[in-house]
């Protein structure tokens, strides 16, 4: 593996950081719920995710009356930063502390900055959820494993962005969903999906149209390994039997969903090419079986290469003045 890629792809054994992972997941839910409360609703809940930055994760600028604020996780200096547009800045150290303490201190900071925000203080998408003000069970923070996880997010974000450029149709940003604790990008066919009568309001909005989504998650107690995933919704018949690459792809027929263990990517001779092969082949399988209008939705290689060449020539002319 090239040394520059190896530095971005550290080992992330779930069992060695599962307590920190659970605590950090809940901290991001607190910050994410603040964004949900402050940001105007966007289709498919695109107003709620966080975004990868050069130091961690950010809410981006959130409106608040005639003002605004931004909250950033810094996983280099291990601090949470709250900034308002009038120049006020407050810091919370990211150290081993309970979810209840983290929640109380962040709410106190917001009150001190005259940020009045109300949210439902209960975790989302988790079984046996403990309200944030009462959760003293989760209180771990291993800075080294947090740094490893974030470096994987940085690299994965870059590859997912490259994959995103191949699509002309509606496509989400690459963003971090704090509910499931995953980094994701989603492509849309442009057609509405049949409504699932069993789905709740959140799921109906998220899956109102046909999608193929792919991303990265660090693992859970039920699936204790970091992995990349890809799924098509609604799932077309036969997808679980489709030919996809590389050969190490795992299949989950109940969704159906394709999973590629992170360690397969990390140890590959060319990790970037391996991940792109997974993303492209699983997309093609889902799009073909669901009869997406691929010629209208995709960037051809000729056009893509021509556009890149034109951009390089433009940069060269600017450099020459």
pLDDT digits (tens, 9 = 90+) for 77-106: 999 999 999 999 999 999 999 999 999 999
Res. 213: pLDDT tops 80: yes
Predicted local distance difference test score (pLDDT) of residue 306: 47
Burial grade of 169 (CB within 10 A; 0-12, 13-18, 19 or more): middle
pLDDT classification of 133: cutoffs 50, 70, 90: very high
Domain ranges of the chain: 10-134, 147-301
Lowest mean pLDDT among 140-144, 219-223, 293-297: 219-223
pLDDT classification of 5: cutoffs 50, 70, 90: low
Helices (H), the chain: 3-6, 14-38, 99-112, 143-164, 201-206, 262-266, 271-289, 294-297, 301-320
Predicted local distance difference test score (pLDDT) of residue 152: 98
Predicted local distance difference test score (pLDDT) of residue 300: 82
Q: Give the residue from 254, 233, 240 showing the smallest Cα distance to 191.
A: 233
Contacts of 39 (CB under 8 A, 6+ apart): 47, 48, 62, 63
What pTM was computed for the model? 0.90
Average pLDDT over residues 188-206: 87
Average pLDDT over residues 211-216: 98
Res. 7: pLDDT tops 60: no
pLDDT classification of 318: cutoffs 50, 70, 90: low
Q: What is the pLDDT of the chain when averaged over all its residues? A: 91
Q: Which residue has the higher pLDDT, 257 or 303?
A: 257
């Amino acid at each position: 593996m090239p040394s520059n890629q190896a530095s971005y792809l550290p080992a992330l054994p779930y069992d060695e950081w599962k307590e920190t992972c659970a605590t950090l997941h809940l901290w991001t839910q607190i910050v994410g719920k603040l964004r949900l409360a402050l940001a105007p609703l966007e289709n498919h809940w695109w107003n709620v995710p966080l975004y990868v930055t050069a130091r961690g994760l950010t809410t981006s600028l959130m409106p608040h009356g005639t003002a605004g604020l931004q909250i950033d996780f810094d996983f280099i200096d291990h601090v949470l930063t709250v900034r308002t547009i009038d120049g006020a800045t407050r810091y919370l150290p990211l150290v081993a502390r309970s979810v209840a303490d983290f929640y109380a201190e962040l709410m106190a900071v917001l009150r001190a900055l005259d940020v009045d925000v109300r949210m439902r203080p209960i975790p989302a998408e988790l079984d046996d959820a403990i309200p944030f003000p009462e959760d003293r069970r989760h209180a771990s923070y291993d800075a080294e494993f947090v740094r490893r996880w974030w470096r994987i997010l940085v690299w994965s974000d870059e590859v997912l962005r490259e994959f995103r450029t191949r699509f002309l149709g509606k496509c989400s940003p690459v963003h971090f969903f704090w509910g499931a604790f995953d980094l994701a990008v989603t492509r849309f066919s442009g057609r509405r999906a049949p409504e699932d009568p069993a789905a709740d309001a959140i799921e109906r909005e998220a899956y109102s149209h046909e999608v193929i989504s792919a991303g990265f998650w660090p693992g859970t107690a039920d699936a204790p390994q970091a992995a990349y995933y890809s799924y098509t919704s609604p799932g077309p018949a036969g997808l679980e039997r489709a030919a996809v690459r590389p050969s190490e792809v795992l299949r989950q027929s109940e969704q159906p969903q394709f999973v590629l263990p992170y360690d397969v990517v990390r140890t590959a001779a060319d990790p970037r090419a391996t991940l792109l092969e997974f993303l492209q082949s699983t997309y093609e399988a889902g799009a073909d079986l669901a009869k997406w209008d691929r010629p209208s939705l995709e960037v051809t290689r000729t056009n893509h290469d021509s556009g890149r060449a034109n951009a390089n020539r433009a940069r060269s002319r600017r450099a020459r003045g």
